[in-house]
């Protein structure tokens, strides 16, 4: 199916219909909101897959770095933007803690006049103890609060695309009539583009929903300071060229975002977009050009 035909499908066809929750998302009433599923907001999606980036910086250098990549969108793993709404910002409810203790939904709704976002990203790696670290039942119990915003909702993004956590979450969400409008995924692996693109396709086929790849890069998880990554920057850049082209050829992929680490990181240094002084590496210049 051509991208324009796929993206022209009514969004309501991707989620069960229902009435928009009227509860204030920033109040405790949202926790006990009715089970009715909000109508998916009417969104005219772009004809092209959008290039993005996740970056949590809060200073002038962070703004310079975001601007240098010539992005279509960005996010911070947080509920509010740090330095800019141009390129457009997409908020995330990172964890139960940010939702319950840091007024994450309040930040999202208060900044809507500035961000004008139509999308909200769900919990970040809830199956990872160093990230959201949530049980499926906890995530399901809190999901109505995200739903009450009326924004298009991205699934929680587990550490792996074939995560049992995600399978259980999606099954329970379906049984409870909860809404998930698009799937989000992370993928770090060897620089083999076909393998990566197959994982993206499998996620779409498994759940029948659009896909956002919110983190991906080349990584050697066995690397150490004394034995850095076995993958070269040239291999990484070949992988980036092939995967960006492949993602844009998939009509069900709406957005993607490369993930960077410091240039000296032994596991992912070959994927770094910036030098230590904040200027673009050759990989960063390539990403900006794609």
Asked whether residue 24 is assigned to any structural domain, the reply reads no
> pLDDT tens digits, residue range 86-115?
999 999 999 999 999 999 999 999 999 999
Q: Is residue 245, in this structure, part of any structural domain at all? A: yes
- Cα–Cα distance between 124 and 119 in angstroms, integer? 15
Asked if residue 18 belongs to a domain, the reply is no
For the chain, what is the domain count? 1
Domain of residue 146 covers 3-10+49-289
SS3 track for 12-46: HHHCCCCCCCCCCCCCHHHHHCCCCCCCCCCCCCC
For residue 282, tell me if it sits in a domain. yes
Q: Provide the whole-model pTM.
A: 0.84
Place of tokens 């939702």: 99
Whether 251 maps to a domain, the answer reads yes
Taking only the tens of pLDDT, the chain with its 290 residues reads 444 344 434 333 333 323 323 333 333 333 333 333 334 344 444 447 899 999 999 999 999 999 999 999 999 999 999 999 999 999 999 999 999 999 999 999 999 999 999 999 999 999 988 888 999 999 999 999 999 999 999 999 998 778 899 999 999 999 999 999 999 999 998 999 999 999 999 999 999 999 999 999 999 999 999 999 999 999 999 999 999 999 999 999 999 999 999 999 999 999 999 999 999 999 999 999 99
The answer to the question of residue 230 being in a domain is yes
**CA–CA separation, 121 and 187 (whole Å):** 17
Measured CA to CA in angstroms, residue 136 lies from 35, 84, 165, 172, 263 at distances of 18, 33, 7, 8, 35
């Amino acid at each position: 199916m051509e991208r324009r035909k796929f993206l022209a499908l009514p969004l309501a066809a991707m989620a069960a219909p229902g009435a928009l929750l009227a509860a204030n998302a920033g109040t405790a009433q949202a926790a006990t909101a009715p089970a009715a599923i909000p109508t998916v907001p009417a969104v005219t999606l772009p004809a092209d897959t959008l290039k993005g980036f996740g970056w949590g910086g809060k200073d002038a250098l962070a703004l310079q770095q975001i601007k240098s990549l010539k992005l279509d969108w960005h996010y911070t793993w947080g509920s509010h933007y740090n330095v800019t709404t141009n390129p457009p910002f997409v908020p995330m409810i990172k964890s139960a803690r940010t939702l319950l203790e840091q007024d994450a939904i309040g930040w999202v709704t208060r900044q809507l006049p500035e961000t004008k976002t139509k999308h909200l990203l769900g919990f970040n790696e809830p199956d990872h103890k160093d990230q959201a670290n949530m049980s499926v039942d906890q995530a399901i119990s809190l999901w109505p609060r995200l739903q009450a915003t009326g924004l298009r909702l991205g699934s929680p993004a587990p550490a792996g695309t074939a995560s049992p956590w995600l399978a259980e979450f999606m099954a329970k969400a379906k049984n409870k009539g909860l809404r998930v409008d698009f799937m989000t995924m992370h993928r770090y692996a060897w620089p083999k583009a076909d393998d990566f693109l197959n994982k993206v396709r499998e996620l779409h086929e498994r759940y029948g929903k659009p896909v956002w790849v919110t983190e991906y890069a080349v990584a050697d998880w066995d690397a150490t300071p004394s034995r850095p990554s076995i993958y070269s920057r040239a291999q990484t850049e070949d992988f980036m060229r092939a995967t960006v082209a492949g993602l844009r050829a998939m009509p069900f992929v709406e957005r993607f975002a490369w993930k960077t680490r410091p240039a000296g990181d032994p596991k992912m240094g070959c994927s770094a977009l910036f030098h230590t002084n904040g200027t673009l590496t050759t990989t960063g210049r390539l990403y900006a050009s794609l």
